[in-house]
């Protein structure tokens, strides 16, 4: 028997009574890896270097919230990518990266109602730029891998806003975007799957966990545990 909060199979809510009106929101912020897309890009880049198991183990621990210093965990993984070529990253982009089911449909529905879109990722601009262009997302924030002579150096490049997009930077970017738009954070939706998404999800008016880690599902107002991202539209009408 479904629990009281499981309004449909694989769709769990807490803290509110549906439906909500999509038009009452003005911004939707997405995590990228394992949320909008089907892979963890850092793990797939590591596969090209023959280091996927080692990198994936760190990624999994970070997403479960078992690593306190996310920035150091990302630096550690980036070091293991040293020597991977830009051509190999392009192969990941062309042949492994796919939008998750319902991603395009949800983004289009939000855009049709006038919502702006934000992509905030602990991943890398090489991939977020491609996803941005494909979905016509308004703003992105992610990390830059340093490239020399067509190959990764194992380092990341500092940007004007800071060094690494971690959970606190995701939250800051969400709040800054709301301020720039002249809207309240309560008018924003934040969607993610890992522990580093919790700060921005906690700042938004509606938090959505997509096939997420247990700690994220427990704290989200909406948990999509089966089906695609567009299942959110069963709640937002």
Which candidate in 24, 33, 129, 163 is catalytic? 33
Catalytic annotation present for 94: no
Q: How far is CA 159 from CA 30, 39, 142, 165, 168, in A?
A: 21, 25, 10, 10, 16
The residues facing 223 across adjacent strands are 12, 209
What is the DSSP pairing of strand 116-124 with strand 139-148? Answer: parallel
Q: What are the strands, taking DSSP E only, across the chain?
A: 6-8, 11-13, 27-30, 116-124, 139-148, 151-157, 188-192, 206-210, 222-224
Which candidate in 31, 47, 197, 230 is catalytic? 31
Catalytic annotation present for 158: no
Q: Which two tokens stand for residue 168?
A: 């606190």
Show which residues are catalytic: 31, 33
């Amino acid at each position: 028997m479904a629990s009281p909060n499981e309004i449909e199979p694989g769709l769990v809510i807490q803290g509110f009574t549906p439906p909500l009106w999509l038009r009452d929101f003005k911004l939707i912020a997405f995590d990228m890896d394992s949320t909008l897309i089907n892979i963890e890009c850092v793990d797939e880049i590591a596969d090209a270097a023959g280091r996927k198991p080692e990198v994936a183990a760190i990624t999994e621990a970070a997403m479960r919230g078992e690593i306190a210093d996310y920035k150091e965990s990302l630096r550690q993984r980036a070091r293991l990518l040293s020597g991977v070529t830009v051509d190999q990253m392009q192969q990941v982009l062309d042949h492994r990266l796919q939008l998750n089911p319902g991603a395009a449909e949800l983004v289009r529905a939000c855009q049709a109602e006038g919502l702006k879109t934000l992509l905030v990722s602990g991943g890398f601009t090489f991939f977020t730029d491609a996803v941005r262009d494909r979905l016509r997302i308004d703003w992105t924030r992610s990390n830059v891998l340093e490239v020399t002579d067509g190959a990764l150096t194992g380092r990341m490049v500092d940007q004007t806003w800071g060094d690494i997009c971690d959970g606190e930077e995701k939250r800051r970017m969400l709040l800054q975007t709301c301020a720039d738009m002249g809207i309240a954070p309560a008018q924003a939706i934040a969607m993610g799957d890992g522990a580093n998404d919790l700060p921005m999800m906690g700042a938004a008016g509606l938090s959505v966990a997509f096939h997420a880690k247990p700690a994220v599902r427990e704290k989200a107002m909406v948990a999509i545990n089966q089906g695609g991202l567009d299942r959110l539209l069963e709640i937002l009408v």
